[in-house]
């Protein structure tokens, strides 16, 4: 649904919808009740996500490129996850301006499509890369001997390339469904789902992406984590660091799914269904609540870009140790530069005094 202000299609009267098998005039459609919460909530969340996500993922990418080589297989997945998050946070300033500009989109139709495309690529790319990380950890913990020779970096590179291809191909219809629209007050909205003209087909597409891009990976992750927890409980593991990283992985990923991904997919599809089928007058207050809750989950869905760097720090291979080492090196280098400049300044002062014939020092 569009952001905050009422688009033209909510008040249109020319066409009809089928609700429960009966045609319903658009004149009887529910009009959403605007609240200040819906107007201010998302830009505040996006500002927080932009600042923390930009810093966290910049540090992560810097670490992976300059301090984590040679990469392990799981590092390849984590780097691609950080890259997806970083590209998403770079797109947020335009969206933040959109809200501060009273949801009047000034960047054109192409940028609107690109904005929504990047969000969904990040959403489903993150889910699939988290799935790859989880399956990789499951294989290493539950089948350590069978995994020898299989968890190669080359294989993880091929799988990552496949993930990018599948996500981009699967999300490409967003470039068709997302667009701009003119409101009655002549301002421009950027649809985050679709206009009423394509709503029925978009709802089918949304359900397909939910099943393939969220439900199946989530079930796979739950299965992997169930077996990982069972192995951690019943197996006598001598590898304490792997045990600790596996526990962190289970906690962080399940938290991300429970807070970000699950509520978003539930409320997004419920909101679309309400727009299609729940338009009788007695359902209007219910639709308001659904829409308001959907706005909350949109903000929560973007929080994964802030949480993922915590995953690298706690569950990544040697990430924390190498980050500490890189920080100490940078600190020593900074101290050496300061000391060198101080010595140089002292020598310059002494030279100046000698040239002026001042021997009081």
- 58 or 319, which is more confident? 58
The CB density around residue 318, as the number of other CB atoms within 10 Å, is: 13
Q: List the domains of the chain with CATH numbers.
A: 8-317 (1.20.1070.10)
Give pLDDT tens digits for 205-214. 999 999 999 9
The pLDDT tens digits of the residues spanning 123-169 come to: 999 999 999 999 999 988 888 777 666 678 889 999 999 999 999 99
* 251-309 tens-digit pLDDT: 999 999 999 999 999 999 999 998 888 777 777 778 888 888 999 999 999 999 999 99
Please tell me the predicted confidence (pLDDT) of residue 237: 65
pLDDT confidence of residue 24: 44
Q: What is the mean pLDDT of residues 337-357?
A: 65
Task: Indicate if the pLDDT at residue 72 is higher than 80.
Answer: yes
pLDDT tens profile 163-221: 999 999 999 999 999 999 888 888 898 988 888 888 999 999 999 999 999 999 999 99
pLDDT at 337 over 70: no
Higher pLDDT, 86 or 142: 86
Output Rg (C-alpha) for the chain, integer angstroms. Answer: 26
Structure confidence at residue 40 as a pLDDT band (50, 70, 90):
confident
* Confidence at 20, pLDDT banded by 50, 70, 90: very low
Q: Return mean pLDDT, the chain.
A: 82
């Amino acid at each position: 649904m569009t952001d905050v202000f009422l688009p033209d299609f909510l008040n249109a009267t020319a066409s009809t919808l089928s609700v429960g098998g009966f045609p319903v005039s658009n004149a009887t459609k529910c009009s959403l009740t605007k609240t200040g919460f819906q107007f201010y909530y998302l830009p505040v969340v996006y500002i927080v996500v932009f600042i923390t996500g930009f810093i966290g993922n910049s540090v992560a990418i810097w670490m992976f490129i300059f301090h984590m080589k040679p990469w392990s297989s799981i590092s390849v997945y984590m780097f691609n996850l950080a890259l997806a998050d970083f590209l998403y946070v770079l797109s947020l300033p335009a969206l933040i301006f959109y809200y501060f500009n009273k949801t009047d989109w000034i960047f054109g139709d192409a940028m609107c499509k690109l904005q929504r495309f990047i969000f969904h690529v990040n959403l489903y790319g993150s889910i699939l890369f988290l799935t790859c990380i989880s399956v990789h950890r499951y294989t290493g913990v539950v089948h350590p001997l069978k995994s020898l020779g299989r968890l190669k970096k080359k294989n993880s590179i091929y799988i990552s390339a496949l993930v990018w291809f599948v996500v981009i191909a699967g999300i490409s219809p967003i470039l068709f469904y997302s667009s701009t629209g003119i409101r009655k007050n002549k301002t421009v909205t950027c649809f985050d789902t679709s206009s009423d003209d394509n709503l029925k087909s978009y709802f089918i597409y949304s359900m397909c992406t939910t099943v393939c891009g969220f439900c199946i990976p989530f079930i796979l992750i739950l299965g992997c984590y169930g077996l990982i927890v069972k192995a951690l409980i019943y197996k006598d593991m001598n590898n304490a660091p792997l045990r600790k990283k596996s526990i962190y992985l289970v906690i962080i990923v399940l938290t991300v799914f429970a807070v970000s991904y699950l509520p978003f997919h539930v409320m997004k599809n419920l909101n679309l269904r309400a727009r299609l089928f729940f338009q009788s007058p007695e359902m209007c207050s219910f639709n308001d609540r659904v829409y308001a809750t959907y706005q909350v989950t949109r903000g929560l869905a973007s929080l994964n870009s802030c949480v993922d760097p915590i995953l690298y720090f706690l569950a990544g291979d040697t990430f924390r140790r190498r980050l500490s080492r890189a920080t100490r090196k940078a600190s020593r280098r900074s101290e050496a530069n300061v000391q060198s400049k101080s010595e140089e300044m002292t020598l310059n002062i002494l030279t100046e005094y000698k040239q002026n014939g001042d021997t009081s020092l």
